[in-house]
Chain A
Amino acid sequence: MFSTELVAQTAISGVMIGVLYALMALGITFIYSIMRMINWAMGEFYMIGSYLQFMLVAWVLGPDLWWLAILISTAGVFLLGLVVQWGLIKPIFKKPPEMRDDYATVVTLALLLFLRSIATGLAGPNQFTPGSTLPIMMIGPMPMAGARVAAFVFALAALGIFWAVLRYTWYGLALRAASQSRVGVQTAGIDVLSVDRVAFGIGVALAGLAGALLAPVFLVFPTNGMITTVKGFEIVVIGGLGSIPGALIAGILLGLIESFGAAFIDSAYQNIYGFLLVLAILVLRPTGLFGERGREA
Chain B
Amino acid sequence: MRKFGLLLAAGLAAIGVSAQAQNIGIGLDIPLSAPGDAAGGQMIRRGAEIGIDMVNAAGGVLGKKLELFVTDSQSAPAMGVANYRRLVGENKVVAVTGFFHSSVALGINEVAKEMGVPTLAVQASASDITAKHYDIAFRTHAVDPVRVAAWMEFIKKKGFKKISIIAETTDYGIGLTDETIAQNKSGKAGLDIQKITFDNKATDFTPQLLQIKSFKPDLVLNIGVGTPVDLIMDQATTIGLLPTTPMLISYDAPTRPQYWQLHPKNGEGIYFIAYYSPKSPLSDLGQAFAKAYKEKYKEDPVYGALNGFGAIEILAQGLKAANSTDPKALIKALESGTFKSWPDAPVTFPRADGVYWHNWVPPVLIVHYTKPNQDWKEADIAVTYSKK
Residues of B within 8 A of A179 (CB): none
Identify the stretch in A82-90, A118-126, A278-286 within 8 Å (CB) of chain B at 4 or more residues. Answer: A118-126
Choice from A116, A222, A227, A269 contacting B201 with Cβ under 8 Å: A227
13 contacts between A and B (CB under 8 A): A6-B211, A6-B214, A17-B204, A143-B239, A143-B240, A218-B204, A223-B33, A227-B201, A260-B207, A262-B198, A267-B207, A271-B201, A272-B199
Identify the stretch in B13-21, B91-99, B153-161, B226-234 within 8 Å (CB) of chain A at 4 or more residues. Answer: B226-234
Interface string of A1-37 (1 = CB under 8 A from B): 1010110011001100100000000000000000000
Identify the stretch in B36-44, B277-285, B373-381 within 8 Å (CB) of chain A at 4 or more residues. Answer: B36-44
Among A60-97, those with CB < 8 Å from B are none
Known: A128-B261, A144-B238, A268-B199. A222 touches B34 (CB 8 A): yes
Does B210 have its Cβ within 8 Å of any Cβ on chain A? yes
Closest Cβ of chain A: how far from B202's Cβ, in Å?
Answer: 5
Cα–Cα distance between A10 and B207 once the two chains are bound (Å): 6
Interface string of A246-273 (1 = CB under 8 A from B): 0000000000001110110011111110
Does B208 have its Cβ within 8 Å of any Cβ on chain A? yes
Contact surface of A with B, Cβ cutoff 8 Å: 1, 3, 5-6, 9-10, 13-14, 17, 116, 120, 124-129, 131, 136, 142-145, 148, 217-219, 221-224, 226-227, 258-260, 262-263, 266-272
Does B186 have its Cβ within 8 Å of any Cβ on chain A? no
Top 4 A-B residue pairs of the complex, sorted by shortest distance between their CB atoms = A125-B38, A262-B207, A223-B34, A263-B207
Among B222-257, those with CB < 8 Å from A are 227, 230-231, 234-235, 238-240
In chain A, what residue has the closest Cβ to B239?
A143
Residues of A within 8 A of B204 (CB): 13, 17, 218, 258-259
Q: Please state if A125 and B231 are interface contacts (CB–CB under 8 Å).
A: no
Cα–Cα distance between A148 and B211 once the two chains are bound (Å): 20
A145-B235, A221-B38, A270-B202 given; name 16 further pairs at CB < 8 Å.
A13-B207, A125-B32, A136-B240, A143-B240, A145-B234, A148-B238, A218-B203, A221-B34, A221-B227, A223-B34, A226-B201, A258-B204, A263-B207, A266-B197, A268-B198, A271-B201
Known: A13-B206, A126-B39, A259-B207. A269 touches B231 (CB 8 A): no
Choice from A224, A258, A263, A272 contacting B211 with Cβ under 8 Å: A263
Residues of A within 8 A of B201 (CB): 226-227, 271
Interface size on B, residues (CB 8 A): 36
In chain B, what residue has the closest Cβ to A224?
B34
Closest Cβ of chain A: how far from B269's Cβ, in Å?
Answer: 17
Q: Please state if B227 and A145 are interface contacts (CB–CB under 8 Å).
A: no
Q: Please state if B230 and A127 are interface contacts (CB–CB under 8 Å).
A: yes
Q: Please state if B38 and A126 are interface contacts (CB–CB under 8 Å).
A: yes
Closest Cβ of chain B: how far from A224's Cβ, in Å?
Answer: 7
Cα–Cα distance between A5 and B230 once the two chains are bound (Å): 26
The main secondary structure of chain A at its interface with chain B is: helix
In chain B, what residue has the closest Cβ to A272?
B199
Q: Please state if A128 and B258 are interface contacts (CB–CB under 8 Å).
A: yes
Q: Please state if B197 and A267 are interface contacts (CB–CB under 8 Å).
A: yes
Does B292 have its Cβ within 8 Å of any Cβ on chain A? no
Closest Cβ of chain B: how far from A278's Cβ, in Å?
Answer: 16
Cα–Cα distance between A128 and B259 once the two chains are bound (Å): 10
Does B169 have its Cβ within 8 Å of any Cβ on chain A? yes
Residues of B within 8 A of A263 (CB): 207-208, 210-211
Does B264 have its Cβ within 8 Å of any Cβ on chain A? yes
Closest Cβ of chain B: how far from A210's Cβ, in Å?
Answer: 12
Cα–Cα distance between A127 and B224 once the two chains are bound (Å): 15
Cα–Cα distance between A263 and B235 once the two chains are bound (Å): 15
Cα–Cα distance between A2 and B203 once the two chains are bound (Å): 24
Cα–Cα distance between A3 and B32 once the two chains are bound (Å): 42
Cα–Cα distance between A227 and B32 once the two chains are bound (Å): 17
Q: Please state if B42 and A125 are interface contacts (CB–CB under 8 Å).
A: yes
Residues of A within 8 A of B206 (CB): 13, 17, 259
Residues of A within 8 A of B210 (CB): 6, 9-10, 13, 263
Among B301-344, those with CB < 8 Å from A are none
Closest Cβ of chain A: how far from B252's Cβ, in Å?
Answer: 15
Does B262 have its Cβ within 8 Å of any Cβ on chain A? yes
Among B167-222, those with CB < 8 Å from A are 169, 196-199, 201-204, 206-208, 210-211, 214-215
Residues of A within 8 A of B197 (CB): 266-268
Q: Please state if B34 and A3 are interface contacts (CB–CB under 8 Å).
A: no
Closest Cβ of chain B: how far from A219's Cβ, in Å?
Answer: 6
Cα–Cα distance between A64 and B261 once the two chains are bound (Å): 17
Closest Cβ of chain A: how far from B302's Cβ, in Å?
Answer: 13
Closest Cβ of chain A: how far from B296's Cβ, in Å?
Answer: 15
Q: Please state if A226 and B207 are interface contacts (CB–CB under 8 Å).
A: no
Residues of A within 8 A of B230 (CB): 127, 219
Q: Please state if B258 and A127 are interface contacts (CB–CB under 8 Å).
A: yes
Residues of A within 8 A of B234 (CB): 145, 217
Interface string of B14-56 (1 = CB under 8 A from A): 0000000000000000001111001101100000000000000
Cα–Cα distance between A204 and B189 once the two chains are bound (Å): 55
Cα–Cα distance between A226 and B234 once the two chains are bound (Å): 21
Q: Please state if B211 and A1 are interface contacts (CB–CB under 8 Å).
A: yes
Cα–Cα distance between A262 and B235 once the two chains are bound (Å): 15
Closest Cβ of chain B: how far from A125's Cβ, in Å?
Answer: 3
Residues of A within 8 A of B208 (CB): 262-263, 267, 270
Choice from A143, A222, A267 contacting B198 with Cβ under 8 Å: A267
